[in-house]
Structure 1
């Protein structure tokens, strides 16, 4: 079996009902925390974000399972870095830090490899 140099990962992000029920000021704080989480993922050593997709035009409301609300596709060097990316949902504070990002959204990582189509 071939040893993979990196993993192709699809981070699937769902927004839950706590976000939908939050007042507008709290929603703004969540989006600031969400932005920080994306930046933190982008700064992980060896992780290369290939693209980010938001599914908010065709899906409205909470998305706790597939289809998700947003997706990040990245090449990631190892499992530990994938775990670190997911962990930002547990550690990035929202507003004054009483709550973390995972009160408002969730993440699931789908791990695979780059598909190379033979010629």
Structure 2
């Protein structure tokens, strides 16, 4: 069964406190994380939306900083996508991406409006 998933991603205070070089490394890790999710078998990213121009500061809860909408084949692939936040190294790998941002997945189904 295909799941419609909204990955809600929030930047935290560690990113806000980062030096320019550290923030650049976080952006590079974020790109790697997104490519990892996009490369998972059974995952189709439908779009990514960013709130960064109308939200200032860390995302402690909703609203989030950015969102990834995807169709995902199974629950384990959703878990694997979230795991990229735990495993993607930032810079020299001392820290992982989850030091700087968080994710929560909302799982549902595509809404089909009857004619």
TM-score relative to the length of structure 1: 0.96
Match of 1:110 among 78, 82, 106: 106
Give structure 2 stretches of 5+ with no counterpart: none
Give the drift of 1:57: 1.1
Alignment of 1:24-103 (within 5 A): 24-103=20-99
Name the count of aligned residue pairs. 115
Query: What is the DSSP-based 3-state SS (H/G/I as helix, E as strand, rest coil) of the residue aligned with 1:51?
Result: strand
Give the root-mean-square deviation of aligned CA atoms.
Answer: 0.4
Supply the distance in 1 between the matched residues of 2:60 and 2:85 (Cα, whole angstroms).
Answer: 14
Supply the distance in 2 between the matched residues of 1:47 and 1:26 (Cα, whole angstroms).
Answer: 30
Deviation per CA, 1:36-55: give whole Å up to 9, x if none.
00000000001000000000
CA radius of gyration, larger in: 1
Contact 1:64 1:106 in 2 (8 A): no
Runs of 4+ in 1 over 3 A off after TM superposition: none
TM-score relative to the length of structure 2: 0.99
